[in-house]
Amino acid sequence: MSTVCQPRRAALVEIPAPQPKIAARIRRSYLEILGARLPPSPLPRGRNVPAGCTKRTQSVDLSLRGVWAERIAERCDKMDRPHAPLSRQQVVQLISSLIVVQQSQEPRILASDLKYLQEDLQLKKASIYRSIPYSRFGSNRDAHCYRKAYPHMVAFKVSCQEWSRVLLQNKEWDAVLEHALMAWRYVSELPQWDTANHNALREQCYGILSANCLSALQHYQPAASRGRELLRRLKMAQFSSQCIAPCIQEFQRIMGCASGSSSDVK
């Protein structure tokens, strides 16, 4: 008997269109991240700004952003090259430019808010400790860990220097002293490295804050109660570093002159 072959039914299957490729990494510039995080500040009420003035300020702002964006893009391209490692000086310049861009995006009113400056120092100190690898058999204060934390320590130093400079330019002498004493405590909490040369950034931070204190004391004479409080805090800061000793001597001289003048008046 011959087998009967039934005809095969053809099944029509719809082939889907090819999906577009998704990039593995999408790099966003530093300015785009800041623009997404910081909303534009509204104009104050009751003040009419002419249209020409706003256009002019926007053009200047865009030109500044373009210059900084080009510089940061060039340095990021250099970092991407496999045979072009950055030196320490180039790392310092890169971090300084990033911090200047961040401060240009933020309103200058925040410089007077010491709470904001304290949060900034706290975040940068946390970044330093977060960059140190702790899953190691050896010491986590050796040269390898120092190289990991070096860019974050430079960012901490530049932050202390730049915000103090802003306060000095605004002639807020009491805020300069308060910021220096606050930053002094955060500097004392930075990690101590096994190699003595690696602690140079720590001493540089102490020197910057001490110089800012001396600059503020040349123009500032606090009241008696405020002066005693600041002198007590300066003497407590001396336990962390002796760089504050010139500030203590200058403050004692100012307080002595103030007490002598008040006794003469009596």
Tens of pLDDT, residue by residue over 169-191, are: 888 999 999 999 999 999 999 99
Q: How far apart are CA 179 and CA 160, in angstroms?
A: 9
| CA pair distance 18, 91, nearest whole angstrom | 43
Q: Are 215 and 180 in contact (CB under 8 A)?
A: no
Joined together, the tokens standing for residue 122 give: 């706290």
In three-state secondary structure terms, 149 is: helix
| pTM assigned to the model | 0.59
Structure tokens at 39: 């909303």
Q: How many residues does the chain have?
A: 266
Q: Tell me, what's the pLDDT at 260?
A: 54
Q: What pLDDT score does 89 carry? A: 63
Quote the pLDDT of residue 126. 94
The tokens of 155 are what? Answer: 């960012």
Residue 241 has what pLDDT? 92
Distance (Å, whole) CA 64 – CA 58: 10
Residues of the chain with pLDDT under 50: 38, 41, 43-44, 46-47, 49, 52-65, 79-80, 83, 105, 107-111, 263-266
